[in-house]
Amino acid sequence: MSAGTSSREESTDDTGPPPSPAITPAAAPGRASRRQRATLAAYGFLAPNLVLLGVFLFLPLAWAFLISFQESNGFGASGWVGLDNYRRLVTDPTFWRSALNTATFTLLTVPLSLALGLGLAVLMNSVLPGRRLFRTLIYLPMVISGVATALMGVLLFDEATGIINKLLRGGGLAGIPWQSQGSAAFASIILVTLWIRVGFNMVIYLAGLQGISPELYEAARLEGATSWQQFRYLTVPLVGPSTFFLLIMDVIYSFQIFDTIFVMTGGGPGRSTSVLVTYAYENGFVTRDQSYAAAIGIVIFLLTLSFTAIQWRGNRSRDTVG
């Protein structure tokens, strides 16, 4: 081999990988302009929803916050009273009774609706004849308006003409005082609420169950796990994100329950079924003390926001640790 050939081969081996093309000064401004156009397009798509949120959510919320520091009967503010409305809340026994009823209602309905929704989702995710029909029937109350569903509750639980009391009397039993006894009236509200909420919880849980790989259950069965152990150690942890979402949604719904109580009991008998929203409605539209009603509404908003923030932070902490 000649010396010239060897030198050419050595020079070829020493060159290494080809250099990357240099970025021209015009490339960076081009990418920046594309990002700006994409950002403007995104805001353009978001603009209608942002306008609706601003007009129908943020503006009324700010107005209610302002009214809560004034004295108003709905026809204009008559003066600035500062924290007087909030001081009145502290000494108002009806407010505390309504707050206690709201807390009790939430503590009873949320766990029950979650448990029933998960149980129905597991059942509907199995091999069950007529699953689609049962899913539709269970979810149907969520499609119907709240007032219409509450009217169905009246047909069932009316003390004089309700279907349940008619069946009880037909069987020789005494009717239940659904409207004249506080505990029975509260129980009827809880039962109708569960009927309304369970369908929504079932659908969300069903979506979570269908995202779980069947191989996990097959491996658990090969290891000798029973059906309860599969449910306890596989199903419940793996639907955790669905539980987190439903927990927040159900608590918010419980804090804002109104139409069912308003139609079925009106907050009675006495104050046994009065909750914060019905008490705010009573002050705002019956006694026309809208500044006090606004203060109650702000309290409901702060309670809901605080619970959501705590749950969100706790869920993020669990995800970080995991």
Q: Of 24-38, 120-134, 231-245, which gets the smallest average pLDDT?
A: 24-38
Q: Are 193 and 260 in contact (CB under 8 A)?
A: yes
Overall fold of domain 87-321: MetI-like fold (1.10.3720)
Share of the chain above pLDDT 70, in %: 87
Quick one: pLDDT band at residue 215, thresholds 50, 70, 90? very high
Closest to 285 in 3D by CA, of 274, 294, 272: 294
Q: What pLDDT sits at residue 319?
A: 57
pLDDT at position 135 is 84
Using one digit for the tens of pLDDT, what is the confidence trace for 41-93? 888 999 999 999 999 989 999 998 999 998 877 666 568 888 999 999 999 99
Q: How many CB atoms lie within 10 A of CB 140?
A: 13
Q: Which residues pair with 77 in a beta bridge?
A: 72
The distance between the two most distant Cα atoms of the chain, rounded to a whole number of Å, is: 118
Closest C-alpha to 195, from 124, 130, 139: 139
Radius of gyration from C-alpha coordinates of the chain: 30
Per-residue pLDDT reduced to its tens digit, 245-268: 999 999 999 999 999 999 999 998
Whole-number pLDDT of residue 27: 53
CB 157 within 8 A of CB 164: yes
Q: What per-residue confidence (pLDDT) applies to 2?
A: 46
pLDDT at 9: 47
Identify the residue whose tokens are 């119907």: 144
Mean pLDDT over 104-114 rounds to 96
> What would the DSSP string read from start to end of 74-126?
SS-EEEE-TTHHHHHHHT-HHHHHHHHHHHHHHHHHHHHHHHHHHHHHHHHTS
Q: Which two tokens stand for residue 127?
A: 């091999």
Range scoring the smallest mean pLDDT among 6-10, 205-209, 228-232, 238-242: 6-10
